[in-house]
Amino acid sequence: MGGDQKIGKTAAEQAKQEKENRLSKALRDNLHRRKAQARARKSPATYTAEIGMIAPIKIDNSSKGEG
């Protein structure tokens, strides 16, 4: 989508195209965010780059069979 696409379009057509472009970008961003969230839910330990720590993995340490 290189050059100037506004040549030869009316103001209404330009506004409609800009609206569609914004919606497309918002949908793509939302999809990327949801995929990242799904990947984070699947991985047992996630590295948080902001603070440089690894989130702990929850392990069930309950004794089974002892009683």
H/E segment holding residue 53? strand 53-54
- What predicted TM-score, i.e. pTM, was given to this entire model? 0.49
CA distance linking residue 29 with residue 23, whole number of Å: 10
Contact 36, 42 (CB under 8 A): no
pLDDT score for 9:
84
Nearest one of 21, 28, 27 to 6, comparing CA atoms:
21
pLDDT score for 48:
60
Tokens for 14, please give them: 């330009």
pLDDT tens per residue across all 67 residues of the chain = 455 555 778 999 999 999 999 999 999 999 999 999 999 888 876 556 666 666 666 666 666 555 4
pLDDT score for 15:
95
